Copies of this chain bind each other. A is one copy, B any other.
Amino acid sequence: MEAATERVPDLAAALTLGAARVEAALETLLATPEGPEAPLLAAMRYATLGGGKRLRAFLVLESAALFAVNETCAARVAAAVEMLHAYSLVHDDLPAMDNDDLRRGHPSTHRAFDEATAILAGDALQTRAFEVLAEPDTHSDAQARAELVAALAQAAGARGMVGGQMIDMASEGQTLTAAEVMRLQTLKTGRLIQFSAEAGAILGRAPATQRQALAWYGHDLGAAFQIADDLLDALGTTEETGKTAGKDEAAGKATLVAILGPERARAQALMLAEQAAAHLEPFGARAELLRQLAAFVIERRS
């Protein structure tokens, strides 16, 4: 495994490198065919390529590196997670959902194309994510591929991401407790981040205890990340974040920031980030970048 020798100790550089790797994998996996499917692929590529922090991809790549997983295989899984994430953003932005015209500083997919195309592009991105995981190129052992599919589906489905989005929409304008908000966000964004951190252990056929440690890391990291995101939404500007600022409050969405206030929310995020890092103890120095990432997600400005 080459990563051990070429590993960059600097998190910012590693994030950039990871983003470039997943971008290259996505380019290949979403290659445009000739023929009448081309417009659909164009929308899928628009929604997925060229942007985003690639946090989920980085978690896949770095957790896979802990187990010396082949980098091409890990990049395919990272790309699948980013496709799944992109599909959820495309559908969440639709007029019937969050009705958001802006994503990563650009028109959201249904604005750049049209609603029907955005619905179908999201659908096909989800399909492609599972297809990529199931293909032999992702792992020589079919057991690992089937496990990746099942674990991603659990994270993404009715008892995960989509269930969280459903609860989020149903809760608009309602008063939630801090515990209810935490649960909602664990489903809506946390489970996919958790899967991303676990994915390396699945690829590496790691012992259950190590997979569990990464799952807990991902769980706490995801919760910290979400609070940081809500702080940015509440306190940032549209220009800084590339998203419509203040949209949570405008939509009457419950966030920990609204319930606890910015200072206590920030303290909570810090606690979660420290807790996340503590779960990495079994991996020692090899997990240094994942450890740094936990600090980074609560400090970021966009």
Chain A residues proximal to chain B, CB less than 8 Å = 33, 36-37, 39-41, 44, 87, 91, 94, 96-97, 114-117, 119-120, 122-124, 126-128, 130-131, 133-136, 141-143, 145-147, 149-150, 153-154, 156-159, 162-163, 165-167, 169-170, 184
Complex: A60 Cα to B158 Cα, angstroms: 25
- Residues of B near A97 (CB, < 8 A) are 116, 119
Contact across chains for A158 and B96 when beta carbons are under 8 A apart: no
Please tell me which one of the listed residues B33, B87, B117, B130 contacts residue A166 in the complex, with CB atoms under 8 A apart.
B117
Contact across chains for A40 and B166 when beta carbons are under 8 A apart: yes
Contact across chains for A131 and B119 when beta carbons are under 8 A apart: no
Rounded to whole Å, the gap between the CB of A101 and the closest CB of chain B is 16
Q: Find the residue from A117, A120, A141, A156 having the highest chain B CB count within 10 A.
A: A120
Contact across chains for A44 and B158 when beta carbons are under 8 A apart: yes
Contact across chains for B36 and A127 when beta carbons are under 8 A apart: no
Contact across chains for B40 and A124 when beta carbons are under 8 A apart: no
Contact A40:B149 (CB < 8 A) given known A119-B94, A127-B126: no
Complex: A40 Cα to B142 Cα, angstroms: 32
Complex: A271 Cα to B140 Cα, angstroms: 43
Rounded to whole Å, the gap between the CB of A35 and the closest CB of chain B is 9
User: 18 A-B contacts, Cβ less than 8 Å apart?
Assistant: A36-B163, A40-B163, A40-B166, A91-B119, A91-B123, A96-B114, A120-B165, A120-B166, A123-B123, A123-B126, A126-B126, A127-B156, A128-B153, A128-B158, A131-B153, A134-B149, A135-B150, A141-B142
Contact across chains for B124 and A96 when beta carbons are under 8 A apart: no
- Residues of B near A33 (CB, < 8 A) are 159
Q: Find the residue from A124, A150, A165, A166 having the highest chain B CB count within 10 A.
A: A166
Complex: A145 Cα to B150 Cα, angstroms: 10
Contact across chains for B166 and A153 when beta carbons are under 8 A apart: no
Rounded to whole Å, the gap between the CB of A67 and the closest CB of chain B is 19
